[in-house]
Every structure is written in structure tokens, then in C-alpha cells.
Amino acid sequence: MRLDELFQRMLDQVEQEQRLARRVALFVAPPLLFVLAALGVIMALGWWQFAAAMLGVLTLVVQFDFFTRPAITRTRQFMADLALYLSADEEQVADAVEAGEQHGLMQRFLPLVPALLATLLALLVFVPTLLRQAAPWQQLLGVAFALGLLLVCAERLLRSERVLRQAHQRLSAELATRRIPRRVVAPAVAVPGQPRKRPPDDGLLDPATLARLDAQPMPVLRLSPGARAWVRTEGYLLLRDRPTVSAEELREAMHAWASLAHTDEADHWALPAVGGKVYLPCAAHGILARSLSATARRLGMDGAYSATLNTWLVRLPPARSYAVAARLIDSLMALGMLPPGATLIHHLTVAGDLGADSTMPALLHLLSTPLIFEARPGHAVGDERTFIMRGGGVMDDLDRGGRTTGARTDFVDGFLFVDAPGMDSVEQIAAHAVNLRLKQLLSWAIYTTKRPPERRTPAENGAALRYAELRADTLAFLERYELAGALSIPWLDGRWSEQWFYIKAISDRKQASGDFLDQAQTLRDEALDDLEELALRAAGQGRRAA
């Protein structure tokens, strides 16, 4: 992704916020301070006057906060978002920021000059008028009240100016250390008689590279939305890494990727579709979220706001094969769309509703994953969000463009699928691929058990029997380690506090027993290999029937 474009957009936003702050200091603060100083003088006249003036003071100070606080919140928000993707030399950036601090000492107090003049004018007007008959101590008290209110508003103005200045210097330092020239936006020229056209938003992708990708037609093969998004993303990566590649070479590469995806999806034709959502730890409505949304849409994906976690998410399109869905996630990491080394929460979504049987895929993943869970990512005090969430929407059915009715179960037990310190084994690096394979194959086996035996194909009969055997083996495994209660608690729509007891216990068993993880992975892999062989047979039967 083009982080230079992200820096430019954020710098433009900071400069816009600075212009707004200057207007507030010039046009809003002086009349407000004039009235506040008058109220401060009135407060010295007596107790009744103090109470009435204090009510007006509180009202005006809150109104003043409405002009200053949002700018501070927005600036801190997108600076926190920016920190996810920063990788420049921190010492160079710190030196550049310090140099900017030294050159801007005298400009910090300029926003206070109009407010100070307004306060002095109010004192000259109202102190002789209202406190003419008052005692000297009341006159001094009135002046003190007025100056105190000046300090209250000055603190808000200075804090807003300081946050915006620091953000501007940090972004300017990033541009300087990365040797990125400052962009100059040319004003749009309106053509008389024609509507002004708004250029398409390419997000954080290179427009020239994207134009070359758009010029290539998608291979004429039956592909799921997830497969199409993967082919487009891989095509962009090829053009980004090898700018000299020819159009013919790009076309051949895209056809090879599409053929691979088509083969995988044909092999897994009988399985339920899989998709997902990746929750990025950034503000839901900030500059980064808007840029990532445009980036995802241009590659055939989507972005949205999560009310559950109050953050932004990448919505992965559904795919017919876990292999395609896993490759799409790998491509997003290669693209740089996902923050490197971050702990990311994600849903693995399976078409259909598993109901209470959704316990088995989630529990088997917990038992066999090499990850140790010490805390829940994003967990807050009093947070009782369930471990497995029933989705409110319906996945695209891949053939008719989508559905509006039906049930869906979202799995939220992936937690990690990016490289972290110490995660260097194949099992850990490919954790998301293994998890997707487990969810898709095991969900298919669960669905076969819900069909009447007389309506099952021979392959589905085998899957139902293998699932029953796996459930019995899992129960025996849990009993050996005194964890049998994990199968009886409600994982879907249950309480997190009850589920966390077993999640933590499983992590403790992994650390205490060297055989626990090997046995769990053997149990998982043998079942998945058998189910995949049956799925391939079912797909062949389906193609012959068609």
C-alpha cells in the first residue's frame, strides 16, 4: 500500500483542523471571553449574582468545548491509527520533531492574543461600571474571576494548538525521513456546461498500477467472490513487485491463479462457503478507515464498521474453498493492508447455522492450536460477548448474487493469523489456513448429520459417521485431561466468563503437558484428512450428477 498517500491525506486533514482552530481563536474565542469576563465581574457582587453568573459560565465553557475538543479527539484518533503502520527510524523522526519545536516557540501563544484583548476590554468596560460602589476586595475578586476564566479557555486553546502542532510535525517528519515530496493539490477547473467529475478513489493503491490491472479482463472461469478478490490482489502484487511485466505475462499469471482457485473450489464444491471479517485496531470513521475501505473495494472486497467492537473491519468475500480464503488473507498481508505483527481479531464465517454443534469446530481449534491464550484480545471489564457469535446477516450463496433470509453462525475464535515474535513454525504461520480448513470440513460433516439418512449420499453418510467418531474421540481426550465439561457449556450465545474458564484451562494443559498439543493435533488432522477425502468424493458425485 502507499503509506505516502496516507501521510499526505492525514497531513491535509491536520492542516484543515489547524485552519479551523485558528478561526475559532479569531472569531469564537474573543466574543465568548468578552461575555465570560463580564460574568466573572458579576460573580463578585454577591451570592445570588455568583450563582446566576456561574450557571452562565458553565454553559458558555461547555459551548467552547464543543469547538475545541472534537479537533483534539479527531487528531489523536488518526495519529493512533497512523502508529499501526509506522516503520521509519524513530530517532530521525524525533530529531525532525525537535527541530520543528525549536522553530515554533513564539507561535504557540498567538491564538491567545485576541482572547486576551477581549478580556482586557471587558475588564475596562465592566469593572468601573458594575463595581463602582463595591469594596476594593470585590473589585480585585471580579478581576481574578475574569482572568481565571481566561486561563480556562486559554488552556483549551493551547491544548488544541499543541496536539495539532505535534501531529503536523510528526507527519512532516515522516515525509522528510522517507523522502516523500509534499503534494500540492491543483484546484479543479470547472468546464462550463458540464458537471464536475469526481475522480475515483483508489484508496492506498497506486493509480497507475491499478489502471493496468483494470485493463486486464477476469479469466472466464466460474469463481467465487473470494476467488475473484484473490486473483485481483495477486495481480496487483505482481505489478507492484515487477513493474516491467508485460500485459501478456500478467494475463497468463491471472489465468493460472484463476485455474488454481477454480480447481480448489471444484474439489470443495460440496462444502459450505467460508468467508470472514478481519477487525483492524483503528477508528471506525477515521482517515485510515476511509482509505482502507476504498482500497478493499477496488480489489473486490468491502469494509464496514463493527458496532460490536467499535472499530473497522475488512469483510472477506465468501469462497467455496478454505484454500482460496486462506490465500486471500495471505495476499492481504503481502499487500500490507493488515498491520504487521499486530494481534488481529477475526471472524471465520461459515454459510448456514450449526447451532449447538458449533461447539465442536471451536473447541477442536482451541485444543489443537499452538497459541496460548492469556487474555482475550479486545476484552474489557464486564465484557460478556460470546466466544461464538450467531451472525445477523446471510452469506452470499455464490450463484444467485446473495440471499436475504436464512441463518448464519460466525466463528470468532481465530484471534491470531499474522507473524508474531517466536511464531516461526509452519503450524503457527499457517494457523489461519488450518483454522479455515477445520471450520469448513467440520461444518460440512455437521450438516450431513442433520440430513435424514435416506437422503444422504454415500460420501455424506461417511462424513456423518466420521463426525460421530470424532466427537467420541474428543470427549475421551477431554476426559483424560479433566476437561470434559467443555463440551457441555453453551459456547454459542453463552457467557464469556464461563467459557474463559475452559479456554484458560486448555492453555494451562498445553504448557503443563508436552503430549497434549501433539495428541490434539493428531486427533484433528486425522479427522480432517478423512473428511477431505470424503468431500472430494462428494464433489465428484455432484459434478457427475450435474
**pLDDT for res 398:** 56
**pLDDT for res 40:** 82
Domain limits for position 306? 225-545
Average pLDDT per consecutive 10 residues, the chain (546 residues; last block may be shorter): 82 87 86 85 82 87 85 83 66 48 56 81 80 76 84 85 83 78 58 56 89 91 93 95 94 96 93 86 84 91 78 87 92 83 71 84 88 64 71 58 61 50 53 88 93 90 95 95 89 82 89 89 95 90 46
Q: Does residue 240 sit in the same domain as residue 169?
A: no
Q: Does residue 146 sit in the same domain as residue 258?
A: no
Sheet holding 302-306, edge to edge: 302-306, 311-319, 274-280, 345-351, 408-411, 388-390
- 427 CB-near residues (< 8 Å, 6+ apart): 370, 434, 521
**pLDDT for res 421:** 42
Q: Does residue 415 sit in the same domain as residue 539?
A: yes
Residue 350 lies in a domain: yes
Q: Does residue 257 sit in the same domain as residue 154?
A: no
Q: Maximum distance among all alpha carbons in the chain?
A: 104
> CB–CB of 11/99 below 8 Å?
no
Residue 191 lies in a domain: no
Chosen domain end from 161, 177, 193: 177
Chosen domain end from 112, 143, 177: 177
Residue 89 lies in a domain: yes
The pTM score is: 0.81
Q: Does residue 249 sit in the same domain as residue 155?
A: no
| Three cell numbers written together for 301 | 472486497
> CB–CB of 401/479 below 8 Å?
no
Q: Does residue 378 sit in the same domain as residue 298?
A: yes
DSSP 98-163: HHHHHHTTTTTTTTHHHHHHHHHHHHHHHHHHHSSSS-HHHHHHHHHHHHHHHHHHHHHHHHHHHH
Q: Does residue 88 sit in the same domain as residue 153?
A: yes
Q: Does residue 149 sit in the same domain as residue 283?
A: no
Is residue 186 left, alpha or beta, with left meaning phi > 0 and alpha meaning psi from -120 to 50? beta
Where b means 16+ CB within 10 Å and e means fewer, 352-376 reads bbbeebbbbbbbbbbbbbebebeeb
Distance, CA of 446 to CA of 363 (rounded, Å): 14
Q: Does residue 390 sit in the same domain as residue 532?
A: yes
Q: Does residue 131 sit in the same domain as residue 69?
A: yes
Chosen domain end from 143, 162, 177: 177
CA 142 to chain centre: 51
10 Å CB burial of residue 140 (0-12, 13-18, 19+) is: middle
Residue 368 lies in a domain: yes
**pLDDT for res 165:** 83
Residue 398 lies in a domain: yes
pLDDT tens, position by position, 488-506: 888 887 888 888 889 889 9
Residue 214 lies in a domain: no
**pLDDT for res 240:** 93
> CB–CB of 390/355 below 8 Å?
no
**pLDDT for res 420:** 42
Residue 112 lies in a domain: yes
At 257, the amino acid letter reads: W
Distance, CA of 346 to CA of 333 (rounded, Å): 14
- Total domains present in the chain: 2
Residue 127 lies in a domain: yes
Distance, CA of 525 to CA of 365 (rounded, Å): 11
Q: Does residue 230 sit in the same domain as residue 132?
A: no
Q: Does residue 281 sit in the same domain as residue 136?
A: no
CA 95 to chain centre: 31
